Amino acid sequence: MITVEVPEFKVVENVQLPASKTSLIIVDMQNDFVSSSGALYVKGAEKIIPRIQNLIRKAREKDVLIVFTMDTHRQDDFEFRVWPKHVIEGSWGWQIVDELKPREEDVIIRKMRYDAFFGTPLDHILRIKGIEYVVVCGVVANICVLHTVGTAALHGYKVVVPMDATVAITDFDYYAALRQIYFLYRGIITKSDGIVFE
Protein backbone atom coordinates (compact mmCIF):
# COMPACT_ATOMS: atom_id res chain seq x y z
CA MET A 1 0.00 0.00 0.00
CA ILE A 2 1.21 3.50 -0.86
CA THR A 3 0.10 6.50 1.18
CA VAL A 4 -0.22 9.81 -0.62
CA GLU A 5 -1.33 13.26 0.43
CA VAL A 6 -3.95 15.08 -1.58
CA PRO A 7 -2.75 18.63 -2.27
CA GLU A 8 -4.85 21.36 -0.71
CA PHE A 9 -7.85 22.83 -2.47
CA LYS A 10 -9.95 25.83 -1.52
CA VAL A 11 -13.50 25.43 -0.24
CA VAL A 12 -15.61 28.55 -0.79
CA GLU A 13 -18.21 29.26 1.91
CA ASN A 14 -20.76 31.17 -0.15
CA VAL A 15 -21.42 31.05 -3.89
CA GLN A 16 -24.01 33.34 -5.47
CA LEU A 17 -25.15 32.33 -8.94
CA PRO A 18 -27.47 34.03 -11.45
CA ALA A 19 -30.57 31.84 -11.58
CA SER A 20 -31.33 32.48 -15.25
CA LYS A 21 -27.81 31.49 -16.32
CA THR A 22 -27.33 28.47 -14.05
CA SER A 23 -28.23 24.80 -14.33
CA LEU A 24 -28.30 22.25 -11.53
CA ILE A 25 -27.02 18.95 -12.95
CA ILE A 26 -27.85 15.91 -10.83
CA VAL A 27 -25.72 12.98 -11.92
CA ASP A 28 -26.95 9.37 -11.89
CA MET A 29 -28.93 9.30 -8.65
CA GLN A 30 -30.36 5.94 -9.69
CA ASN A 31 -31.36 2.91 -7.64
CA ASP A 32 -28.45 0.75 -8.78
CA PHE A 33 -25.98 3.28 -7.34
CA VAL A 34 -27.90 4.80 -4.42
CA SER A 35 -30.00 1.97 -3.00
CA SER A 36 -28.28 -0.56 -0.75
CA SER A 37 -29.80 -3.33 -2.88
CA GLY A 38 -28.57 -1.79 -6.14
CA ALA A 39 -26.22 -3.61 -8.51
CA LEU A 40 -23.40 -1.08 -8.01
CA TYR A 41 -24.36 0.46 -4.67
CA VAL A 42 -21.97 3.18 -3.53
CA LYS A 43 -21.75 3.09 0.25
CA GLY A 44 -23.11 6.30 1.74
CA ALA A 45 -24.79 7.50 -1.47
CA GLU A 46 -28.18 7.67 0.26
CA LYS A 47 -26.76 10.24 2.68
CA ILE A 48 -26.45 12.88 -0.03
CA ILE A 49 -30.15 12.69 -0.96
CA PRO A 50 -31.26 15.38 1.57
CA ARG A 51 -28.55 17.76 0.36
CA ILE A 52 -29.61 17.29 -3.24
CA GLN A 53 -33.25 17.74 -2.23
CA ASN A 54 -32.27 21.06 -0.67
CA LEU A 55 -30.48 22.14 -3.85
CA ILE A 56 -33.52 21.17 -5.90
CA ARG A 57 -35.80 23.14 -3.59
CA LYS A 58 -33.65 26.25 -3.91
CA ALA A 59 -33.39 25.80 -7.67
CA ARG A 60 -37.15 25.44 -8.14
CA GLU A 61 -37.80 28.58 -6.09
CA LYS A 62 -35.72 30.57 -8.60
CA ASP A 63 -36.67 28.70 -11.79
CA VAL A 64 -33.16 27.31 -12.23
CA LEU A 65 -32.88 24.73 -15.01
CA ILE A 66 -32.67 21.27 -13.44
CA VAL A 67 -31.02 18.45 -15.38
CA PHE A 68 -31.04 14.81 -14.30
CA THR A 69 -28.61 12.43 -15.94
CA MET A 70 -29.38 8.73 -16.16
CA ASP A 71 -26.63 6.25 -16.83
CA THR A 72 -28.29 4.00 -19.41
CA HIS A 73 -27.14 0.63 -20.75
CA ARG A 74 -28.38 -2.22 -22.90
CA GLN A 75 -27.79 -5.85 -21.96
CA ASP A 76 -24.75 -6.16 -24.25
CA ASP A 77 -22.98 -2.91 -23.37
CA PHE A 78 -19.19 -3.25 -23.57
CA GLU A 79 -18.89 -1.29 -20.31
CA PHE A 80 -19.79 -4.55 -18.58
CA ARG A 81 -16.25 -5.72 -19.31
CA VAL A 82 -15.25 -3.22 -16.62
CA TRP A 83 -18.27 -3.19 -14.29
CA PRO A 84 -20.99 -5.71 -13.38
CA LYS A 85 -24.28 -5.21 -15.20
CA HIS A 86 -26.09 -2.11 -13.95
CA VAL A 87 -28.74 0.47 -14.90
CA ILE A 88 -30.22 -1.62 -17.69
CA GLU A 89 -32.70 0.65 -19.43
CA GLY A 90 -36.22 0.16 -18.09
CA SER A 91 -35.16 -1.77 -14.99
CA TRP A 92 -35.75 -0.80 -11.37
CA GLY A 93 -32.02 -0.13 -10.95
CA TRP A 94 -32.12 2.34 -13.85
CA GLN A 95 -34.83 4.49 -12.24
CA ILE A 96 -33.97 7.68 -10.37
CA VAL A 97 -34.53 7.22 -6.63
CA ASP A 98 -38.06 8.05 -5.48
CA GLU A 99 -36.88 10.90 -3.24
CA LEU A 100 -35.56 12.83 -6.25
CA LYS A 101 -38.16 12.07 -8.91
CA PRO A 102 -37.89 14.61 -11.76
CA ARG A 103 -40.79 16.81 -12.77
CA GLU A 104 -42.12 17.23 -16.29
CA GLU A 105 -40.27 20.53 -16.74
CA ASP A 106 -36.89 19.03 -15.84
CA VAL A 107 -34.42 17.86 -18.48
CA ILE A 108 -33.53 14.16 -18.56
CA ILE A 109 -30.24 13.17 -20.18
CA ARG A 110 -29.75 9.48 -20.90
CA LYS A 111 -26.03 8.84 -21.21
CA MET A 112 -24.19 5.67 -22.18
CA ARG A 113 -20.80 6.69 -20.80
CA TYR A 114 -19.39 8.46 -17.74
CA ASP A 115 -19.53 11.92 -19.33
CA ALA A 116 -23.03 13.46 -19.52
CA PHE A 117 -21.97 15.48 -22.58
CA PHE A 118 -20.61 12.55 -24.61
CA GLY A 119 -23.08 11.56 -27.32
CA THR A 120 -25.94 13.55 -25.74
CA PRO A 121 -27.65 16.90 -26.48
CA LEU A 122 -26.68 18.36 -23.09
CA ASP A 123 -24.38 21.10 -24.41
CA HIS A 124 -26.94 22.09 -27.04
CA ILE A 125 -29.72 22.35 -24.43
CA LEU A 126 -27.60 24.41 -22.04
CA ARG A 127 -26.58 26.85 -24.79
CA ILE A 128 -30.16 27.30 -25.99
CA LYS A 129 -31.10 28.20 -22.41
CA GLY A 130 -28.22 30.67 -22.10
CA ILE A 131 -26.55 28.71 -19.31
CA GLU A 132 -23.08 29.83 -18.18
CA TYR A 133 -22.80 28.15 -14.76
CA VAL A 134 -23.37 24.52 -13.82
CA VAL A 135 -23.74 23.10 -10.33
CA VAL A 136 -22.84 19.42 -10.56
CA CYS A 137 -23.66 16.87 -7.85
CA GLY A 138 -24.52 13.18 -7.51
CA VAL A 139 -22.56 9.95 -8.03
CA VAL A 140 -19.79 9.07 -8.37
CA ALA A 141 -17.34 11.89 -7.57
CA ASN A 142 -14.32 10.54 -9.44
CA ILE A 143 -16.21 8.92 -12.31
CA CYS A 144 -19.39 10.41 -13.80
CA VAL A 145 -19.29 13.63 -11.79
CA LEU A 146 -15.62 14.28 -12.63
CA HIS A 147 -15.99 13.46 -16.33
CA THR A 148 -19.08 15.64 -16.63
CA VAL A 149 -17.35 18.50 -14.82
CA GLY A 150 -14.32 18.15 -17.06
CA THR A 151 -16.27 18.43 -20.28
CA ALA A 152 -18.38 21.28 -18.90
CA ALA A 153 -15.23 23.22 -18.06
CA LEU A 154 -13.65 22.47 -21.44
CA HIS A 155 -16.83 23.78 -23.08
CA GLY A 156 -16.45 27.05 -21.19
CA TYR A 157 -19.03 26.61 -18.43
CA LYS A 158 -18.14 27.81 -14.94
CA VAL A 159 -18.41 24.82 -12.65
CA VAL A 160 -19.52 24.61 -9.01
CA VAL A 161 -19.38 21.35 -7.06
CA PRO A 162 -21.06 21.05 -3.63
CA MET A 163 -18.69 18.57 -1.98
CA ASP A 164 -21.31 17.34 0.49
CA ALA A 165 -23.66 16.39 -2.37
CA THR A 166 -21.36 13.89 -4.02
CA VAL A 167 -19.74 10.65 -2.86
CA ALA A 168 -17.14 8.16 -4.05
CA ILE A 169 -16.26 4.52 -3.45
CA THR A 170 -13.16 5.45 -1.42
CA ASP A 171 -11.93 8.55 0.41
CA PHE A 172 -8.94 8.70 -1.93
CA ASP A 173 -11.20 8.77 -4.99
CA TYR A 174 -13.38 11.45 -3.39
CA TYR A 175 -10.60 13.85 -2.44
CA ALA A 176 -8.58 13.22 -5.59
CA ALA A 177 -11.64 14.10 -7.68
CA LEU A 178 -12.26 17.32 -5.78
CA ARG A 179 -8.60 18.27 -6.16
CA GLN A 180 -8.77 17.65 -9.91
CA ILE A 181 -11.94 19.71 -10.24
CA TYR A 182 -10.36 22.59 -8.32
CA PHE A 183 -6.89 22.46 -9.86
CA LEU A 184 -7.36 21.18 -13.39
CA TYR A 185 -10.78 22.61 -14.25
CA ARG A 186 -10.77 25.67 -11.98
CA GLY A 187 -14.06 24.57 -10.46
CA ILE A 188 -15.47 26.12 -7.32
CA ILE A 189 -15.72 23.68 -4.42
CA THR A 190 -18.32 24.56 -1.80
CA LYS A 191 -21.05 23.07 0.42
CA SER A 192 -24.68 22.74 -0.64
CA ASP A 193 -25.90 25.20 2.01
CA GLY A 194 -23.53 27.83 0.64
CA ILE A 195 -25.09 27.94 -2.83
CA VAL A 196 -27.52 30.77 -3.48
CA PHE A 197 -29.46 31.27 -6.71
CA GLU A 198 -30.31 34.92 -7.33
What is the C-alpha to C-alpha distance for residues 140 and 134, in angstroms, rounded to an integer?
A: 17
Q: How many structural domains is the chain composed of?
A: 1
Q: Considering the domain boundaries, does residue 125 fall inside one?
A: yes
The predicted pLDDT at position 6 comes to 86
Helix axes 171-183, 146-154, angle to 10 degrees: 10
Q: Considering the domain boundaries, does residue 50 fall inside one?
A: yes
* The amino acid at 136: V
* Residue 156: domain span: 15-197
Q: Considering the domain boundaries, does residue 3 fall inside one?
A: no
Pairing of strands 133-139, 22-27: parallel
Q: In CATH, what number is assigned to the domain containing residue 168?
A: 3.40.50.850
Q: Considering the domain boundaries, does residue 4 fall inside one?
A: no
Q: Considering the domain boundaries, does residue 1 fall inside one?
A: no
**pLDDT tens string 137-196:** 999 999 999 999 999 999 999 999 999 999 999 999 999 999 999 999 999 999 999 999
The predicted pLDDT at position 1 comes to 87
Q: How large is the average pLDDT for residues 115-138?
A: 98
Q: Considering the domain boundaries, does residue 73 fall inside one?
A: yes
Average confidence score pLDDT of the chain: 97
What is the C-alpha to C-alpha distance for residues 135 and 25, in angstroms, rounded to an integer?
A: 6
Q: Considering the domain boundaries, does residue 167 fall inside one?
A: yes
Q: Considering the domain boundaries, does residue 118 fall inside one?
A: yes
What is the C-alpha to C-alpha distance for residues 116 and 144, in angstroms, rounded to an integer?
A: 7
**pLDDT tens string 12-46:** 999 999 999 999 999 999 999 999 999 999 999 99
